[in-house]
């Protein structure tokens, strides 16, 4: 007998706040299917407040409450039976982060979990890559966010090592990343990939998804280092307004896409990867998977 339930995942990032609603299809004797039903994204850009002033501004507190009220109503309308809201780098560092969590709980009923970099990397690692990539190979998973980037090394389907760095697109835009961070990331990637050959990257995040979409490649194909390098040069040759007009980018994407591409290219260079897979999965997908695993453990 087929059973269908809807789960919700709220990802409160440094650049945007997302709600993913997924349908979970279960039938005895068959592999459970996770089907994305709806994805809503609001570009609140909490990181621009927090990385400069250490606080979420009054304006963005109001926007956050409005967004959470909207998400609560959408989940109710979709008849979502389980949900989880996770906040990452910006809310971790906000001096009024816990205060905002409590306010949102009071106003909307939504409980937000502020997770650390390790938890973030672990949730992302829950995303099922087996059907997307060759499990016999070695991959460096790179999830680029506004406040941090999570790196996970996979070999033969197993997670080898994972680490989160304060290297994010909003931080880079505001010149808040020291050269020491870049050095630390380079050393970590080189040290952890040195014993592997033929490494490929797996890229996640809105920016690489956008680049892949504009490449007109079919699902499952890869982007080459050469293609990404050429696209990076193109981005840098255009003004902010030209990137919006000529590349049809959203205004909150047209600036962060440059530092994001730099991070992916750097990771490819330091790991020796010549291609990048873009399966269009991320933290919200991992949250959905973690909710399902929790349900299985409860039964």
Kindly report the pTM of this predicted structure. 0.90
Strands 199-204, 17-27: pairing kind: unpaired
Strands 275-277, 199-204: pairing kind: parallel
Is pLDDT of 118 > 90?
Answer: no
Give the per-residue pLDDT at 289: 92
Domain topology for 2-118+284-298: Nucleotidyltransferase; domain 5 (3.30.420)
Is pLDDT of 130 > 60?
Answer: no
H or E segment to which residue 270 belongs: helix 257-271
Whether the Cβ atoms of residue 228 and residue 264 lie closer than 8 Å to each other? yes
Model pLDDT for residues 246-293, shown as the tens digit of each residue: 999 999 999 999 999 999 999 999 999 999 999 888 889 999 999 998
The domain locations on the chain are 2-118+284-298, 128-281
Give the per-residue pLDDT at 281: 82
CATH code reported for the domain at 128-281: 3.30.420.150
Per-residue pLDDT band at 220 (split at 50, 70, 90): confident
Give the per-residue pLDDT at 133: 61
Give the per-residue pLDDT at 132: 60
Q: For residue 16, what are its two tokens?
A: 């945007």
Distance of alpha carbon 59 from alpha carbon 134, whole angstroms: 46
Instruction: Specify the residue for token string 């835009």.
Output: 173
Whether the Cβ atoms of residue 45 and residue 67 lie closer than 8 Å to each other? no
Per-residue pLDDT band at 131 (split at 50, 70, 90): low
**In this structure, what are the phi and psi dihedrals at residue 215, rounded to the nearest 5 degrees?**
-75, -15
205 secondary structure, DSSP code: S
Looking at the chain, the whole-number percentage of residues with pLDDT higher than 70 is 97
Q: For residue 17, what are its two tokens?
A: 């706040």
Domains 2-118+284-298 and 128-281 share a fold: yes
Q: What value does the mean pLDDT take over residues 35-39?
A: 94
Highest mean pLDDT among 114-128, 210-224, 265-279: 265-279
């Amino acid at each position: 007998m087929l059973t269908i339930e809807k789960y919700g995942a709220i990802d409160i990032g440094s650049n945007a706040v997302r709600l993913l609603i997924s349908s979970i299809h279960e039938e005895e004797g068959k592999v459970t299917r996770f089907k994305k039903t709806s994805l809503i994204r609001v570009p609140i850009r909490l990181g621009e407040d927090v990385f400069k002033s250490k606080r979420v501004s009054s304006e963005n507190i109001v926007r956050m409450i409005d967004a959470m009220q909207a998400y609560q109503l959408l989940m109710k309308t979709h008849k979502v039976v389980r949900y989880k809201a996770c906040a990452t780098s910006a809310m971790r560092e906000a001096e009024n982060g816990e205060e905002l969590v409590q306010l949102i709980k009071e106003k909307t009923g939504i409980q937000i979990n502020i997770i650390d970099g390790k938890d973030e990397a672990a949730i992302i690692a829950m995303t099922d890559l087996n059907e997307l990539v060759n499990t016999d190979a070695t991959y460096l998973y790179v999830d680029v966010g506004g406040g941090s980037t999570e790196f996970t090394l996979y070999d033969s389907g197993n997670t080898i090592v994972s680490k989160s760095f304060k290297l994010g697109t909003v931080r880079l835009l505001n010149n808040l990343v020291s050269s020491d961070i870049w050095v630390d990331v380079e050393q970590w990637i080189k040290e952890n990939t040195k014993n592997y050959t033929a490494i490929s990257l797996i890229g996640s995040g809105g920016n690489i998804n956008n680049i892949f979409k504009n490449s007109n490649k079919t699902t499952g194909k890869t982007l080459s280092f050469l293609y990404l390098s050429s696209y990076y040069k193109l981005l840098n040759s255009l003004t902010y307004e030209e990137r919006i007009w000529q590349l049809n980018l959203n205004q909150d994407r047209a600036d962060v896409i440059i530092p994001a591409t730099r991070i992916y290219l750097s990771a490819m260079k330091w790991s020796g990867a010549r291609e990048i897979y873009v399966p269009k999965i991320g933290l919200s997908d991992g949250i959905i998977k973690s909710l399902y695993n929790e349900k299985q453990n409860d039964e």
